[in-house]
Amino acid sequence: MTSLSAAAAVAADEGRPLFIFFTANWCKPCHRMKAEVLSDARVRIRLARFIRVQVNADSTEGKKAWQTYRVSSLPTTIIAASDRPDQVARRIEGLRTIQELTEDLDHVIEALAVPAPPGRERLSGGGDTIPRAPEAAPWPWWVWLLAGALTALGATIVAGHWRTRGQRRLD
């Protein structure tokens, strides 16, 4: 989401906290954090509990939010409770590693008692969630065995073809 007001409305409806990521087109650490940290599976599992919004600090709405949340540098992440979107529950400033951000998110999840999203189960001993396993495997074991054998046979045939390509028979 890119509209902070729309994200706040959704957060209030669903009872999930806001994860507000302040960025700008010119901010290289912001782009690095998006590419390396926010896209990581461990972080994304935790972020599924939040309503996420990315705010461009150079936009009109971004400048207003910049003042509302008293942002001083980029990248900055603000976490706000769903019932109090104008109050900061946690401020995360600067480029974070995956480990640092997962720890920060785990603290917020515990402090705000953020429930797991529907269709996910909590892992024992941590704040991670995993999708529920399907009721039955889609293919029996022998189908996978046959597929592997056919793949190996096909690779052998193709490799043999490429080895003999361009050679003439002397019969």
Q: For residue range 35-85, list pLDDT tens digits in order.
A: 999 999 999 999 999 999 999 999 988 899 888 889 999 999 999 988 887
Q: Is the peptide bond before 85 cis (omega within 30 degrees of 0)?
A: no
Give me the helices (H) in 97-166, please.
98-112, 141-164
Which CATH number applies to 4-131: 3.40.50.410, 3.40.630.10, 3.40.190.10, 3.40.30.10? 3.40.30.10
Question: In whole angstroms, what is the distance from residue 100 CA to residue 64 CA?
Answer: 28
Whether residue 131 has pLDDT greater than 50:
no
Predicted structure pTM score: 0.67
Contacts of 48 (CB under 8 A, 6+ apart): 117, 120, 129
Comparing 134 with 117, the larger pLDDT belongs to 117
Structure tokens that stand for 56 in this block:
């461009």
Going from the C-alpha of 159 to that of each of 46, 131, 151, 163, the distances in angstroms are: 45, 40, 12, 6
